[in-house]
Amino acid sequence: MYWFIFCDNRLLLEKKEKGGYTIPFGKHPPVPLSANPLTVPDTGDMVCQTGTADVSAEETDRYILVALRASWDMLEPRFYLIAGKASQLLYWERHSRFCTACGTATESSPLPVMRFCPSCRHELYPFISIAILALVRKGDEEILLVRARNFKGAFHGLVAGFLEIGETLEECVAREVKEETGLDVCNITYFGNQSWPFPSGLMVGFTADYAGGEIKLQEDELTDGAFYNRGNLPPLPLKSSLARQMIDGWLTHPSSLSK
């Protein structure tokens, strides 16, 4: 079975003999775990277990520890996707130990992704935060790129924000663009979505056309924002991100961006 082991929010990878990295495989976990492992559901014909190392694991000649995001270009795509699911499963398990209704310690269930309260019988399932991405076009030659205060790298991305109760995804797009940049948009169109295990989210991408207004940044959220053309693009997000896929799609097909 494959072992998706995390230590200090980093993923344990095994070095291949001929170079590169993979997920450890074997009957037993490659390092001691702090608790019983969890089975990662819906992984096809692969048996996948996940857990947390019980001590701070050290890199060796055989293993290394890397941030999940950094493992994207180090692993086969199937392993990276399962690693993201495993990370979300562990995050949910850590945050569902007590009933959100009465505070009683929860118990595991026969279902792989459900815990329940033995006192009030409340059931707890993994929670997913939904956020939108908005690629705003100004004609065929320019798109809106912004730099958020929480960006760790020196890059610009797309307007993003979390879905609020009572609104549709399209309403969320219009609201977030207006709140963060002061701009109005129209022709909001679905592009695609991506699981975003940082820590447990779903990114939903939309394109939209500029409809009016002048850029006025929400300064507690953004440090920069402007329309850019192909000749003056700033550093862009990682290729693994949905935002980058959308931007690359615009670069290839500016007037008909849809997935």
CATH code of the domain in which 201 resides: 3.90.79.10
Q: How far is Cα 194 from Cα 205, in angstroms, rounded to an integer?
A: 8
150 and 46 fall within a common domain: no
147 and 240 fall within a common domain: yes
137 and 76 fall within a common domain: no
Within-domain flag for 174: yes
Within-domain flag for 151: yes
87 and 134 fall within a common domain: no
pLDDT computed for residue 253 by the predictor: 82
89 and 146 fall within a common domain: no
> Which residue, among 236, 85, 52, 43, has the nearest Cα to 146 in the 3D structure?
236
pLDDT computed for residue 110 by the predictor: 86
How many domains is the chain partitioned into structurally? 2
pLDDT computed for residue 59 by the predictor: 74
Instruction: Please tell me the pTM assigned to this model.
Output: 0.91
73 and 135 fall within a common domain: no
* Spatial CB neighbours of 15, under 8 Å, sequence gap ≥ 6: 21, 61, 62, 63, 64
Q: Could you report the per-residue pLDDT of 79-95, keeping only the tens digit for each?
A: 999 999 999 999 999 99
Residue 227 tokens read as: 């329309």
80 and 142 fall within a common domain: no
Within-domain flag for 247: yes
150 and 60 fall within a common domain: no
pLDDT computed for residue 57 by the predictor: 67
133 and 239 fall within a common domain: yes
Q: Are 111 and 41 in contact (CB under 8 A)?
A: no
67 and 12 fall within a common domain: yes
> Which residue, among 46, 43, 3, has the nearest Cα to 27 in the 3D structure?
3
61 and 160 fall within a common domain: no
pLDDT computed for residue 256 by the predictor: 61
Range of the domain at 150: 129-252
pLDDT computed for residue 216 by the predictor: 98
Q: Going from the first residue of the chain to its last (259 residues), give the mean pLDDT of each consecutive group of 10, the final group possibly shorter.
A: 95 93 96 93 96 80 93 96 98 96 96 93 96 97 96 92 98 99 98 97 98 98 96 95 97 70
pLDDT computed for residue 152 by the predictor: 82
Within-domain flag for 214: yes
Instruction: Give the dihedral sign, CA 92/97/102/108.
Output: positive
80 and 179 fall within a common domain: no
